[in-house]
Structure 1
Amino acid sequence: MTTNCTFPGNRIVVLNRWSDGFAAYHRYIDHAANSVAYVCTPHGSAALDASQIAHVEELSDILDEDALHRAVGACQAALGGIDRLIALSEFDLLTAARLRSSFNIHGDLPDTVVRFRDKTVMKHTVAAAGLRVPRFAPLEDVALAEVESMHVMRFPIIVKPRTGAATIGVRRIDTRARLDMLWPTLPLVEYECEEYIEGPVYHVDGFLLNGSLVIARASRYINTRLQFAQGKPLGSVMLDPGPLNDALLEFSEACLRALALRNGPFHLEIIGGCDGFYFLEVGARVGEGEIPFLFHELYGVDLFDLWVTHQSDDATRFDAQAQAAFIASTSSTRGGFLMLPAPAGKVFVDAKLPHGIPALYEAVFPGTRHFFDGAGGYGNILARFRYRGASEDEIAAAIRATLRNFRYTLAECMAPALAE
């Protein structure tokens, strides 16, 4: 634990699980004008800009909610109270809501956040508003029922953690026999299943203020996030203005109204079924992967900055940023991304950037001799590419060209020799 002098302004506690550039909260919070404390792991603590931080609590496990509660209590004592609590990782949103409730802190509380973390709750809420959702059920309900009589059990089905993220733990189940094999391997109360809907998958990302879109972009996936977890590339292309784009934005706004999200960022996924749009799921947070980079690099809009500034009650700064984002929302520039999954158990040697693809403006590779440990997610992957152009077709063509022409070298991971 480290403690420095405190400052005037709001007393803010940040839950930080990141140890990279995402931990640079000093970009968003004026540490001279506010008293700012952090709760984080030792690696997360090392990533902070230590100047003008009022207090730091280090935890070996930020998922230990009892220890986290004690750490926030220590921050409260050090700051003389807490006015705002900020958490940006999807895995921390519900925990942060419970902490706000326990410590009487302004902001989103559990009954709000659960609609954006528990996939059965969010689907119930959207369906109650008369919007299409896949047929679904908590897995424990399916286990206790006559599954043959349940419409949701028409195969294939998707089984996923109710509060999961980044497709971790998501499975497609094609047969009853495979489902029967799965039962004993899962904590049923933590999972749900839903019917598989055939059709293109879209995502809509943006920011809401008082229930209205400040900025939003609708995109279509190339492959799906589940396929990415299974080893296939994942791409995304922003849609051109037109009827499809407008319909997706309209459907998204209806879903967000049903869920009573009025302020903050969102990442919403939609399936284009044969009979119309289906709500898939939503997060009340900034989209993962390349999405925040695209908004920043194409439109000058830092969604994290908007989110933190709004949460920390910096009204003057937020109003200026929101106005700039609204103006940027009219831009005709389109973008997209491509992510190549990690080849688990391999070592990265080198890569050659494809030439002659004007829309490709950024490529990120691992360092030489990087080992892919197969942990999953979007952080430790083979390559990521970002694109900027004038149209949806230009971006899609650039992604296809990258997939054709990208070359890289991998090596086998050699076990260390045993000492004689």
Structure 2
Amino acid sequence: MMNTPFPRRTRSVVMNRWSDDFAAYHRYIDHDAHDVAYLCTPEGAKALEATRISHIEILPDFNDIHRLRVAFDACRTRLTGVDRLIALSEFDLLAAAQLRETFDVPGDRPATAARFRDKTVMKRVVSAAGLRVPQFVELNDREDALATVAGLRHPLIVKPRTGAASIGVHRVDSVEQFGALLPRLTGTSYECEEFIEGPIYHVDGIVSSGKPLLIRASRYLNSCLDFANGKPLGSIMLQPGPSNDELLAFAQTSLRALSLVDGAFHLEVIRGSDGLYFLEIGARVGGGEIPFLFRDLYGIDIFSLWVRQQLNYGTPLASEAGVGAAARSTELGGFLLLPEATGSRLLRAVVPDGIAPLYAAITPKANHVFDGKGGYDKILGRFRYRGRSEDEIDAAIAATLERFQYELGDIDAPSRPAWPRGHWHDGYPLPENAPSRCR
């Protein structure tokens, strides 16, 4: 359903790298009532569904800021000016902020974007506000890196300062492992932080005028780094109680420290032995099945709200039907993601019946080839759950892991096992009698 029309005709540029349903911007912007141009990658351009587009500039990628400026200027010329620049992918938030500053377009500027993209900047800010963060150092000089991290305890986590989706993240358990990793750290800026043992949570929602309009805390089963290394990833929303209250309070303190006034957010937190630790935050909608759970459970499209905020920059979100009810809802959701069996093709997948909380399951079509580029989308399986308690959803995820069946075929080389490589976690071991090619 199209949103309520905006008060005046806007001239907007949209940065789009997405090649799937997320590229359906016509759901959020009436292209007949407003002038919209696009900066796109080739695959992103193919995915656009709007019937009326003022202009499109196609670039091989968004890595070259000079080429982006030239392409944006071409859009600006075609539109006779630009009122707003819309960017929804975490990978594009810094570039979009630089374009806004160069061309004086309202919206987040580089200093704001850095607080939510540079992991060293965000940790310094929240640490200054009194929140715990893992001890960390910047790896600015690779030659002195060993001396730089000498004061940190192992294990260590090495990650790109502006990375996302656990791309380029490494855990090292010794000085020798760190030394062997250093030559491979090329092409970007890195930071190194102490590994904090404990469960990981994520808090998602959207802020309007400095206050959470909608906010939900969830507990991860495994971690995003585990998923990048071939293990399943799950999540369960927390039911009301002390743990949920503590996480929501921690999240709101973090948001105030980082001065997020308007926008979506995805915060990750670790519960260490001495309390909660800030891990990292993105000023964007959470990935995986998170936006689908908000839509399916509460009827709220967070992307729609976020686009409205970017189009009406500086204006509080008007009262949206259903947001208040969603914020008060006690219904919980969860998801399970099964990673790719890279180097294989899917012969068949059988989703188990009789798991009541499991309401949606997405698997690739037969003969789909897993090429290692599936991210959180084109993977072995995506499952969504709804229920009234954490235990109910937890048990449903365990049952799915035990009963989901699939069969893989070789491409040019023997296929690798899909999941898990070892245990899911201590509570969910693989059935011992599971055949090697069909689990």
| Fold match (TM-score > 0.5) | yes
Summarize deviations over 1:347-380 as a string: whole Å, max 9, x none.
0111111111000000001121111112362123
Question: Counterpart in 1 of 2:11?
Answer: 11
- Range 302-311 or range 139-148, more displaced: 139-148
Which residue does the alignment assign to 1:182?
Answer: 181
Q: Per-residue deviation at 1:318?
A: 4.5
Distance 1:157 1:50, change over 3 A: same
Q: State the AA in 1 paired with 2:155.
A: P
Is contact 1:139–1:188 with CA below 8 Å preserved after alignment? no
Structure 2 unaligned runs (5+)? 1-7, 414-439
Answer whether contact 2:31 2:50 (CA < 8 A) is retained: no
- Counterpart for residue 406 of structure 1: 404
Instruction: Judge conservation of contact 1:309–1:317 (CA < 8 Å) in 2.
Output: no
Distance 2:300 2:139 in 1: 40
Secondary structure, aligned partner of 1:249:
helix
- State whether structure 2 residue 106 is matched by structure 1 residue 106: yes
SS of the aligned residue for 2:337 comes to strand
**C-alpha contact 1:135 1:151 (8 A) present in aligned 2:** no
Question: Matches of 1:299 and 1:48 in 2, distance apart?
Answer: 27
Task: Provide the rounded CA distance (Å) in 1 between the counterparts of 2:219 and 2:14.
Answer: 33
Shift of the 314–61 alpha-carbon distance from structure 1 to 2, 3 Å rule, reads closer
The 3 A distance-change label for structure 1 pair 143 and 237 is farther
| SS of corresponding position for 2:181 | helix
Q: Distance in 2 between matches of 1:95 and 1:175?
A: 36
Percent of residue pairs identical: 56
Q: Distance in 2 between matches of 1:304 and 1:149?
A: 39
Aligned length, in residue pairs: 406
Inter-CA distance 197–251: structure 2 relative to 1 (3 Å threshold): same
Query: Residue 270 of structure 2 aligns with which residue?
Result: 271
Contact 2:208 2:317 in 1 (8 A): no
Q: Counterparts in 2 of 1:365-380, with a 5 A limit? A: 365-375=363-373, 377-380=375-378
Q: More deviation in 311-320 or 38-47?
A: 311-320
Secondary structure of residue in 1 paired with 2:140: helix
Structure 1 contact 140–188 (Cα < 8 Å) conserved: no
Change (3 A) 1:196 1:149: closer
The match for 1:352 is: 350
Q: 8 Å contact 1:271–1:278 — kept in the other structure?
A: yes
Cα distance change, pair 145–409 in 1 and its aligned pair in 2 (3 A): closer
Q: Which AA in structure 2 matches 1:335?
A: G
Q: Residue 329 of structure 1 aligns to a residue in which SS?
A: helix
> CA 1:138/1:216 → structure 2, altered by over 3 Å: closer, same or farther?
same
Indicate conservation of the 8 Å contact 1:54/1:79, yes or no: yes
- 2:58 maps to 58
CA RMSD of aligned residues (A): 1.8
Shift of 1:64: 2.5
Give, as a single letter, the amino acid of the residue that structure 1 aligns with 2:366. T
Aligned AA (1:9) = R
Q: Deviations over 1:280-321 (max 9, x none)?
A: 000000000100000000000101000001111299995243
Shift of 1:176: 0.4
- Aligned-partner Cα distance in 2 for 1:376–1:298: 25
Post-superposition shift, 1:278? 0.1
Alpha-carbon shift at residue 140 of structure 1 (Å): 2.5
- SS state of the match for residue 113, structure 1? helix
Q: Using a 3 Å threshold, how does the CA distance of structure 1 residues 310 and 203 change in structure 2: closer, same or farther? A: same
Query: Which residue of the partner structure matches residue 310 of structure 1?
Result: 309
Q: Is the 8 A contact 2:351 2:404 kept in 1?
A: yes
Deviation at 1:143, TM superposition (A): 4.9
- Superposed displacement of residue 36, structure 1: 0.7
Q: Which runs of structure 2 are paired with 1:317-356 in the superposition (5 Å)?
A: 318-321=317-320, 324-356=322-354
In structure 2, relative to structure 1, the CA distance for the partners of 1:93 and 1:312 (3 Å cut) is same
Cα separation, 1, equivalents of 2:373 and 2:38? 27
Q: What amino acid sits opposite 1:15 in the alignment? A: M
The 10-residue stretch of structure 1 (389-398 or 369-378) with the greater mean CA deviation from structure 2: 369-378
Deviations 1:245-264 (A, max 9, x none): 00000000001111111111
Q: 1:409 to 1:267 in 2, by over 3 A?
A: same
Letter in 1 for 2:97: A
Any gaps of 5 or more consecutive residues in structure 1? 1-7, 416-420
- Structure 2 CA distance, aligned partners of 1:250 and 1:315? 25
- In structure 2, do the counterparts of structure 1 residues 317 and 135 end up closer, same or farther at CA, with 3 Å as the change threshold? closer
Contact kept in structure 2, 1:168 and 1:377, CA below 8 Å:
no
Contact 2:139 2:145 in 1 (8 A): no
User: Does 228-237 or 133-142 show the bigger shift?
Assistant: 133-142
Code of the aligned partner of 1:407: Q
The Cα shift of 1:150 comes to 3.6
| Residues 40, 57 of structure 2: 8 Å contact kept | yes
* Matching residue of 1:47: 47
How many Å separate the matches in 2 of 1:248 and 1:292? 20
Alignment partner, residue 282 of structure 2: 283
**TM-score normalized with structure 2 length:** 0.89
1:36-73 Cα shifts (integer Å, max 9, x gaps): 11111232222212422111112222323222111100
Change (3 A) 1:314 1:178: closer
Alpha-carbon separation, structure 2, partners of 1:139 and 1:188? 13
> Structure 1 residues 60-69 or 293-302, which shifts more?
60-69
The residue type equivalent to 1:62 in the other structure is: F
Given residue 228 of structure 2, which amino acid in structure 1 is its aligned partner?
A
Task: Tell me the equivalent position of 2:248.
Answer: 249
Decide whether aligned partners of structure 1 residues 36 and 275 sit closer, same or farther in structure 2, where only a CA change above 3 A counts: same
Code of the aligned partner of 2:203? V
Work out whether residues 168 and 376 of structure 1, in 8 Å CA contact, stay in contact via their aligned partners in 2. no
**Contact 1:139–1:189 (CA<8 Å) still a contact in 2?**
no
Tell me the equivalent position of 1:115. 115
Q: Is contact 1:264-1:285 (8 Å) kept?
A: yes
Q: Write the deviation string for residues 372-410 of structure 1: whole angstroms up to 9, x where unpaired.
A: 112362123110100011111111110011011110011
Distance (whole Å) between structure 1 residues aligned to residue 83 and residue 393 of structure 2: 44
Per-residue displacement from partner, 1:316-360 (whole Å, max 9, x unpaired)? Answer: 995243x53132110110010000011110101111111110000
Encode CA deviations 1:125-183: one digit per residue, 9 max, x unaligned.
1111111000001122575266388432x110000111110001111000100111111
Distance, in Å, in 2 between the alignment partners of 1:149 and 1:304 is 39
Please identify runs of 4+ aligned residues in structure 1 that moved more than 4 A.
314-318
